[in-house]
């Protein structure tokens, strides 16, 4: 890992994003989870392993941004932004590179 890598610990503000094929309903559920964690912690980390998981994480971010921008789904309007970093995760004895999408509120 290079100097831009960050180790992400799992806690209640970290969501693990699946790379399984997902439909609109599953993406909306992930977007709702993003909004819920944002309201509680002002930041959420989406840990994605594989291109499909990153794709799902980005789509869910865009949906969550729409929920918050339009005060939909009962969420208070606020603006969010996303940054990306690499991290290393372990699956048994195997180490894999993951992308962590950090979503946080923009302070006004």
pLDDT, tens digit, for every residue of 60-77? 999 999 988 877 666 666
pLDDT digit string, tens, across residues 46-61:
999 999 999 999 999 9
Q: What percent of the chain has pLDDT over 90?
A: 63
The whole model's pTM is what? 0.84
The three-point CA angle 75-82-107 to 5° equals 60
- CATH number assigned to the domain comprising residue 47: 3.30.110.20
Binned at pLDDT 50, 70 and 90, residue 10 comes out as low
Q: Is the dihedral of CA 33, 103, 107, 42 positive or negative?
A: positive
Question: Rounded to whole angstroms, what are the CA distances from 39 to 27, 35, 76, 93?
Answer: 18, 6, 8, 36
Domain ranges, residue 23: 14-105
- Does 83 map to a domain? yes
Residue 6 lies in a domain: no
In Å, how far are 24, 34, 93 from 27, measured between CA atoms?
5, 10, 31
Residue 30 inside a domain? The answer is: yes
Average pLDDT, the chain: 87
Q: Report yes or no on 26 lying in a domain.
A: yes
38 neighbors 68 (Cβ within 8 angstroms): yes
Q: How many domains does the chain have?
A: 1
């Amino acid at each position: 890992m290079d100097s831009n890598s960050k180790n992400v610990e799992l806690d209640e503000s970290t969501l693990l994003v699946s790379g399984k094929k997902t439909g609109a309903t599953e993406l909306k559920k992930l977007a709702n989870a993003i909004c819920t964690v944002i309201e509680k912690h002002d930041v959420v980390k989406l840990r994605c392993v594989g291109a499909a998981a990153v794709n799902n994480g980005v789509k869910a971010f865009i949906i969550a941004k729409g929920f918050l921008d339009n005060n939909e789904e009962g969420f208070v309007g606020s603006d969010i932004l996303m940054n990306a970093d690499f991290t290393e995760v372990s699956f048994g004895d195997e180490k894999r590179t993951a992308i962590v999408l950090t979503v946080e509120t923009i302070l006004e």
